[in-house]
């Protein structure tokens, strides 16, 4: 009975997350464009321009290369919503990580299914990005367990102090791969959300109209979820943590935008080496200290 109730809570949370995170993610994307424009000396588009873009994409006719691509994208979008539902319902953080990874793999398969040279190159690069950040994501879940004694996200609400003090190395590693997860320079190898990298849109080259709209919405949801991962480092059993969490998340999101506008794209070799090095040094040392002290 408890299992059924837990599943129902997760499903309801997934639906709520899909709606609320889509709105917040759209606003974050609009803020991103505004700040980016100001950094480049431009006025920039309206705050709701991402919404206008997606609405226009949804109005376009579906001219797909094949029918399986859309199926993979729908499944990827659904699993992203489920991952958000697991996290925000206080569920198992490790399960949340696995579901997000499954969503990413479905997105890669969707690109491969187009059988287009540009789409396949984008899918190859996307796979490399997954290989670069996935070890750090797994160690993030392990570190969370070692700091709280449980994989349940809700345990941070009962902590006497924020876990960032205990997991500072894990936090630094998460900040590094966050640039990859948010698809920002210098690590946006497969797909850039700004028109400053290349004419061919990499992994989404063969995804028209409604499919591209699904990808954008999925990115909105992922952005909110990943920033929530940042937030759990600053949450503890005291209401004073609320303004601290808001300030910390805002500063880190601004930092990611600044990095995106000040660093050029690197080669895939540099991506793998740097991500694995940070994972080994920052996260590895942090976990070793927690294990032996």
| Position 194 confidence tier, pLDDT thresholds 50, 70, 90 | low
Per-residue burial over 208-226, b if 16 or more Cβ lie within 10 Å, else e, is bbbbbbbbbbbbbbbbbbb
Enumerate residues 6+ apart whose C-beta is below 8 A from 102: 79
| Greatest Cα pair distance in the chain | 60
Indicate the SS3 state at residue 152.
strand
CB atoms within 10 A of CB 144: 26
The rounded Cα 44 to chain-centroid distance in angstroms is 24
Alpha-carbon gap, residue 202 to 77, rounded angstroms: 19
Alpha-carbon gap, residue 51 to 37, rounded angstroms: 17
- How confident is the model over 92-105, as pLDDT tens digits? 999 999 999 999 99
The rounded Cα 285 to chain-centroid distance in angstroms is 24
- How confident is the model over 50-83, as pLDDT tens digits? 999 899 988 887 776 677 888 999 999 999 999 9
3-state secondary structure 3-55: HHHHHHHHHHHHHHHHHHHHHHHHHHHHHHHHHHHHHCCCCCCCCCHHHHHHH
Say if residue 284's pLDDT is above 60.
yes
Residue 100 · residue 225 · CB < 8 Å = yes
Backbone phi, psi, residue 167, to 5°: -115, 45
CB-hemisphere CA count at 13 Å for 181? 25
Measured CA distances, 176 to 91, 130, 169, 230 (Å): 25, 14, 11, 12
Prediction pTM value:
0.92
CB atoms within 10 A of CB 236: 19
The pLDDT score that the predictor gives to residue 199 is 46
- How confident is the model over 196-239, as pLDDT tens digits? 555 456 777 778 788 888 999 999 999 999 999 999 999 999 88
């Amino acid at each position: 009975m408890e299992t059924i109730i837990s599943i129902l809570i997760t499903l309801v949370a997934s639906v709520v997350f899909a709606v609320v995170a889509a709105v917040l993610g759209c606003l974050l994307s609009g803020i991103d464009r505004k700040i980016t424009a100001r950094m480049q000396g431009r006025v920039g588009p309206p705050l709701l321009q991402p919404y206008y873009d997606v609405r226009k994409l949804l109005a376009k006719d579906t001219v797909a290369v094949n029918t399986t691509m859309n199926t993979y994208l729908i499944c990827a979008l659904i699993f992203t919503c489920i991952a958000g539902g697991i996290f925000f319902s206080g569920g198992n953080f490790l399960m949340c990580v696995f579901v997000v990874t499954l969503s990413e793999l479905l997105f890669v398969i969707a690109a491969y299914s187009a059988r287009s040279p540009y789409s396949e190159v984008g899918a190859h690069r996307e796979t490399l990005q997954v290989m670069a950040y996935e070890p750090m994501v797994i160690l993030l879940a392990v570190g969370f367990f070692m700091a709280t004694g449980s994989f349940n996200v809700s345990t941070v609400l009962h902590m006497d102090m924020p876990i960032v003090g205990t997991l500072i190395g894990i936090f630094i590693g998460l900040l590094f791969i966050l640039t990859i997860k948010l698809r920002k320079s210098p690590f946006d190898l497969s797909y850039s959300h700004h028109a400053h990298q290349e004419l061919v849109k990499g992994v989404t080259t063969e995804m028209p109209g409604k499919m591209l709209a699904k990808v954008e919405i999925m990115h909105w949801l992922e952005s909110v979820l990943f920033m929530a991962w940042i937030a759990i480092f600053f949450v503890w059993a005291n209401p004073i943590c609320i303004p601290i969490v808001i300030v910390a998340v805002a500063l880190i999101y601004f930092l990611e935008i600044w990095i995106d506008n000040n660093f050029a794209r690197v080669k895939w070799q540099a991506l793998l080496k740097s991500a694995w090095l940070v994972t080994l040094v920052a996260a590895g040392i942090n976990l070793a200290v927690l294990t032996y002290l």
